[in-house]
Amino acid sequence: MKKVIIIRYAEIHLKGKNRGFFEHVFSVNLERAMRGIRHELHRTSGRYLLVNFEEEKIEEICLRLQRVFGVHSYSVGLITGNSLDEMFAAAQEVSPSSGTFKIDTHRADKRYPLTSMQISAEIGGRLLSKRPNLKVDVHTPEHTVHLDVRENGTALAFGTFEKGAGGIPVGSSGKGLLLISGGIDSPVAGYMMAKRGMSVEFLHFHSYPYTNDSAKEKVKELAKLLSKYTLTGKLLTINVAHIQEEIHKKCAGELNVTLLRRFMFRLAQTIAEENGLQCLITGESLGQVASQTIEGMTSSNAVVSLPVLRPLVGFDKDEIISIAKKIGTFETSVLPFEDCCTVFLPEFPATRPKLAFIEEEEQKLDVPSLIMEALQTKEEFLI
């Protein structure tokens, strides 16, 4: 009998003939999440077992498991032989000493000579004889002892199901580039896409010397926090200060943000194509700020051919903040460092700009040269 962590996956069982691919990606991600901790990972029918791990690091292991997309639930328990005596010994280890309880048995090995109900009755009776402060309640027990009789002559015993991150494994749904600003929304957008299986890399625009290096360091920290979920650690930065200066000098003031975002999207598409990424991801939420109207989004989309994913488009701010707090990015996101969108911010930005007017104003700029100059400022950081 030894300690084990039982890991159950979420949507993978729905994948039909593609299930093997998703299981492979899932197992790779589990191994990456456990990097640096001695362990063995075994796949059995519909679940994974983590065994021979460093038990003194069990809290760290569980914390890491909670961040792996594809995990539906996990349980810390025991693995033992499938004889009644061995299962009873394991049940004693995971059962309470008092209160109401029941035994819930799952019998994957249908050749086992006893039915699930018979096993539950036998183990439950033995527990009652050993622990007089226990009382059976099969309807609303305070505690449940779970027994899982496997096909290979082993059995699992555990007391609770711990909720996992859900979703599907990162790396099973393509690759995207997150435009990460340093605010609350964009890290949450990256998290949401990773939960749907997308590998996410990060691109940040800054306006040095109008913004300082503290803003860049803030984004590095956000990327580091996100990488615990996305399992990726590449951050690219590009300076767009010269673009903003040109827009401010030559174009209608109310279009400063709208025109800047069009440049950002062009640059992002170039970076995505250079790195084999298939889409852009933003933290935009419809109507949240002046540039996030349908007209503003249409203006940005018009300059790129890659899909633009906006996973937060229907979320309100409270919902986004709630997720940011859950994933640990909120406290960093609200640190008071300016991002590039606050530079040359017009007093009354256009909320419903006409595409024809935007394109007319943009003709005042040497777009290819500004793009080329911006790409020369690119920096890459491994998180």
Contacts of 316 (CB under 8 A, 6+ apart): 285
Predicted confidence at residue 233, as pLDDT, reads 76
Predicted confidence at residue 346, as pLDDT, reads 66
Predicted confidence at residue 349, as pLDDT, reads 75
CB count, 10 Å around CB of 251? 20
Predicted confidence at residue 342, as pLDDT, reads 62
Predicted confidence at residue 208, as pLDDT, reads 86
Pick the CATH number of 2-163 from 3.40.920.10, 3.30.70.2740, 3.30.2130.30, 3.40.50.300: 3.30.2130.30
Structure-block tokens of residue 335: 């640190």
**CB–CB of 320/285 below 8 Å?**
yes
**CB–CB of 202/283 below 8 Å?**
no
Predicted confidence at residue 339, as pLDDT, reads 64
Phi and psi at residue 327, in whole multiples of 5°? Answer: -90, 0
Positive or negative torsion for Cα 266, 270, 272, 276 = positive
- CATH match of 175-382 with 3.40.50.620: yes
Buried b (16+ CB within 10 A) or exposed e, 224-240: ebbbbbbbbebbbbbbb
Q: Domain locations in the chain?
A: 2-163, 175-382
CB count, 10 Å around CB of 35? 9
Tell me the CA distances in angstroms from 256 to 17, 288, 342, one per residue in order.
Answer: 50, 18, 10
Q: How far apart are CA 358 and CA 255, in angstroms?
A: 7
**CB–CB of 244/343 below 8 Å?**
yes
pLDDT tens digits for the chain (383 residues)?
Answer: 999 999 999 888 888 889 899 999 999 999 999 999 999 999 987 789 999 999 999 999 999 999 999 999 999 999 999 999 999 999 999 999 999 999 999 998 889 999 999 999 999 999 999 999 999 999 999 999 999 999 889 999 999 999 999 999 999 999 999 999 989 999 999 999 999 999 999 999 999 888 788 888 999 999 999 999 998 779 999 999 999 999 999 999 899 999 999 999 999 999 999 999 999 999 999 988 777 899 999 999 999 999 999 999 999 999 999 999 999 999 999 988 766 566 666 666 777 889 999 999 999 999 999 999 999 999 999 98
Buried b (16+ CB within 10 A) or exposed e, 63-98: ebbbbbbbbbbbbbbbbbebeeebbbbbbbbbbbee
Predicted confidence at residue 301, as pLDDT, reads 95
Predicted confidence at residue 287, as pLDDT, reads 85
Q: How far apart are CA 48 and CA 51, in angstroms?
A: 10
The secondary structure of residue 238, as a DSSP letter, is: E
